[in-house]
Structure 1
Amino acid sequence: MSDIILHHYASSPFSEKVRLVLGYKKLAWKSVTVPAIMPKPDVQALTGGYRKTPFLQIGSDVYCDSALMCDVLEHLQPAPTLYPESHKGLARVLAQWADTTLFWAAMAYNLQPKGAMTMFDSPETAKAFGADRGAMSVGMNRLRPADAAAAYKSYLRRLANMLDGNDFLMGSSPCVADFSAYHPLWFTRVCVPVMADILEATPAVLRWMDRMAALGHGSKEKMTATEAIAVCAASAGAVAQNDVSFQDEHGIPLGSQVSIAAETFGPEATEGELVAATRTRYTLKRVDERAGTVHVHFPRIGYVLKAVQPA
C-alpha cells in the first residue's frame, strides 16, 4: 500500500479529528502542512478546487471530507473499529450532528473577538483569516456569540449525560462519534484557551477529552507538498473502490464531465470526469500538469453533483 498522506495544519479542528483516528488505529502517516487560507496552489493541484482542510492522499487517490476519510481508514485498518456493530448507525448519525451542529456552535463561540484575538499574531493576519472564511461561508446563517454560547453549554451538558457511567460517548471504547464530538472542543481547550472556561461546568467531558487526547496521533513523518504531488504523479493508478456498482440518482452517466461542491461551507467546486458513483461516494478523474491523473473522492452526504454543460 502507498503511504497515507494527510494534508493539514496544526490548528485545524477537522485535522485533529483525523490525526486522532490515525492514532487510535496506530497507523503510520506522512504529514504535509498546508496554508490555512488561500492561495493554495499545491492543494488545488491535487484536489482540483476543493480547498477545505484536511484532505487525505494515498498515491493518486485524494479523499475529501473527514467523514469519508474515516471510512477509508476503517477499510485500511479495520481494528479497532470506528463503527461498532451494536450501534454503527447511531454512531454515524451522532458524528454527523457533531461535525455540523455542534461544530458550528462551538466555533461561533470560540472565534468571537476575545478568542480570535489570541489566535493571530497581528490584526492583518486576523483580517485575512476572517475574509477567507467569510468567502467560504457565503449564504450561511451564523450564530451570534451569545446564542452560540447558550447552545454550546447545552450541547456540553448532553455530552456529559452520555458519559454518565461510560468512558466514551457510546460505551467503553471510542467510536466515530467520539472523534467528531472531540475536535471542536479540542479547539476551545487548545487553540483558544482563553475561552475554555465554558468546559469547566462539565468535568465528565474534560475527563473524556483527556482520554481522547491520550490516543495520540500515531507515527508521522514530515513530507513537503512538492513530494506529495510527485507521489501522485508517479502513482500507478487509483486504489480499487470497495463498492464499484453504479448508483445513479441524477441521470448523469459515468464518463460525464461533472462538478462537485459542498452544500454549504466551502462552495468551491471540483470538476472532472465522473468515474464512480457508489452507494456512499463519488469519484472524479482529473488531470493536472503537476500531479498527473488524480482520482478525487467525495462522500455523497453533504455534497452536490452537477453536470458540466459543454462550452
Structure 2
Amino acid sequence: MADLILHHYPTSPFAEKVRLLLGFKKLAWKSVIIPQIAPKPDVVALTGGYRKTPILQIGADIYCDTALICDVLEHLAPAPALYPEQGKGLARTLAQWADSTLFWTAMAYNFQPKGAADLFGNAPPALGKAFADDRKAMSVNMTRLRPLDAIAAYKSYLRRISDMLEGQPYVLGEAPTVADFSLYHPLWFTQVRTPSLAEILTHTPAVVQWMERMAAIGHGEMQKFDSASAIQVAAASTPHSLLIDSTFQDDHGIALGTQVSISAESFGPEPTEGELVAATRTHFSLRRTDERAGTVHVHFPRIGYVLKKVETPA
C-alpha cells in the first residue's frame, strides 16, 4: 500500500482528530504542513478546489473530510474498531453532532477576545485580520453563533459529555469509538490553543480526565514530508480507492461519467469539478487531471456535500 500522507497544520482541530486516529490505529504516516489560510496552491493541485483541513492522500487518491477519512482508516486497520458492531449507528450519529454543533459552539466560545489574544496576541495584526477574512470567506453560507451566546451552550454540552462518561472510561463504553475522537478535538482546541478560556473545562472533571486518556493515545509514527514530494507521489501513481462500497446510487439523475461539481453544504464552499466516477450510498468520487499532480481521484462523503452537474455553455 502507498504511504499515508496527511496534509494538515499543527493548530487545526480536525487535523488533531485524524492525528489521534492514526495513533489509535498504530499507522505510520507522513506529515505535510500546509498553510492555515488561502492561497493553498499545492492543496488545490490535489483537490481541485476543496481547501479545508486536513486531507488524506494515498497515492493518487485524495480523501476529503474527516468523516470519510475515518472510514478509510477503519478499512486499513479494522482493529481497534472505530465503529463497534453494537452501537455503531449511535457512534456515527454522535460523531456527526460533535463535528458540527459541538464544534461550532466551541469555536464561537474560543474566538471571543481573550481566546483571540491567545491565538494571535504575539502575531502581527495583519495575520489575525487575514485569518478572520479567510474564515469569513469560507463561512458565507453559515449562520455563526456569537461568542456570548455560545457560553451557556458549551457549558451544557460539556455537562452532557460528562453524563455520558459516568461509570465508564469512554463515552460509549470501555473503549474509544469514532464518537470520542469527534468529541475530543473541539475541546482540545479550547484546552491547548485558548488556555485563557480553558477554565470552562474544569467544571466537568470527568471530561478533563477523559481528555487525558484521549491525549495519551498519541499520534503514532510520523515522518516529515513536503508538499512538492506529495504532488510527485500523486503524479507517479494510479488512483485506486480504498472505499469498499461501490454500488451506484443515483439520487440526482446524474450518470457516471458526467462532469460535476461537489462542494460543502456550509463551511468551505469552494467547489471541486471533475468526472463523476462513483456515487454510492456513502461517498462521491471525481476523476480530475492537474498539470502537476496528474490524474487523481478526489473522494467526498455524501452527507454534508452537494453534487451538481456542470452545465457546459451552448
TM-superposed deviation, 1:230: 0.3
CA offset at residue 240 of structure 1? 5.3
Figure out how many residues of one structure are paired with residues of the other and give that number: 311
1:1-311 matches, within 5 Å, as 1-120=1-120, 121-239=123-241, 241-311=243-313
- The AA in structure 2 aligned to 1:287 is T
Question: Offset at 1:244?
Answer: 1.7
**Matches of 1:82 and 1:279 in 2, distance apart?**
19
Q: Give yes or no for contact 1:14–1:183 (8 Å, CA) kept in 2.
A: yes
CA contact (8 A) 2:63 2:69 kept: yes
* Contact 2:6/2:57, CA 8 A, preserved across alignment: yes
On the 8 A contact 1:109/1:148 being kept in 2, the answer is: yes
Q: Which runs of 5+ in 1 are unaligned?
A: none
**Cα gap change, 1:188/1:254 in structure 2, threshold over 3 Å: closer, same or farther?**
same
Does the 8 A contact of 1:30 with 1:223 survive in 2?
A: yes
**Structure 1: which amino acid aligns with 2:266?**
T
> SS of 2:297's equivalent?
strand
**Relative to structure 1, is the Cα distance of residues 208 and 241 closer, same or farther in structure 2, using a 3 angstrom cutoff?**
closer
> Which AA in structure 2 matches 1:28?
A
1:188: how far off?
Answer: 0.2
Structure 2 distance, partners of 1:182, 1:165, is: 18
TM-score of the superposition, structure 1-length normalised? Answer: 0.99
Tell me, in whole angstroms, the C-alpha distance in 1 between the residues paired with 2:68 and 2:245.
Answer: 14
TM-score scaled by length of structure 2: 0.98
Q: Hey, what's the Cα distance between the residues in 1 that align with 2:44 and 2:27?
A: 26
Amino acid at match of 1:194: S
Corresponding residue SS for 1:85: coil
In structure 1, C-alpha distance between the alignment counterparts of 2:135 and 2:312, rounded to whole Å: 31
Ranges of 4+ aligned residues in structure 1 off by more than 3 Å: none
Q: Which string of whole-angstrom CA distances, capped at 9 and with x for unpartnered residues, describes residues 226-276 of structure 1? A: 000000000033235412211100000000000000000000000000000
Q: Is the 1:117–1:126 Cα contact (8 Å) retained in structure 2?
A: no
Give 3-state SS (helix, strand or coil) of 1:140's partner. Answer: coil
CA distance in 2, matches of 1:260, 1:183: 26
- The alignment's C-alpha RMSD in Å is 0.7
Q: Equivalent residue of 2:87, what SS?
A: helix
Secondary structure of the residue aligned to 2:253 is coil
Matched residue of 1:294: which SS? strand
Quote the offset at 1:147 in angstroms.
Answer: 1.2
Q: Which amino acid aligns with 2:45?
A: A
Q: Which stretch shifts more, 102-111 or 116-125?
A: 116-125
Question: Counterpart of 2:7 in structure 1: which amino acid?
Answer: H
Q: Percent sequence identity over matched residues?
A: 68
Query: 1: CA distance between counterparts of 2:52 and 2:298?
Result: 13
Native 8 Å contact 1:24 1:216 kept in 2: yes
Cα distance per residue 1:95-148 (max 9 Å; x no partner): 000000000000000011110121121211100000000000013111111110
Name stretches of at least 5 consecutive residues in structure 2 with no aligned partner.
none
Distance 2:182 2:160 in 1: 15
Tell me if structure 2 keeps the 8 A contact 1:37–1:132: yes
Q: Residues 183-228 of structure 1, C-alpha deviation per residue, up to 9 Å, x if partnerless?
A: 0000000011111010010000000000000000010100000000
The CA distance in 2 between the partners of 1:122 and 1:110, in whole Å, is: 20
Contact 1:74–1:81 under 8 Å retained in 2: yes
- What SS does structure 2 have at the residue aligned with 1:259? strand
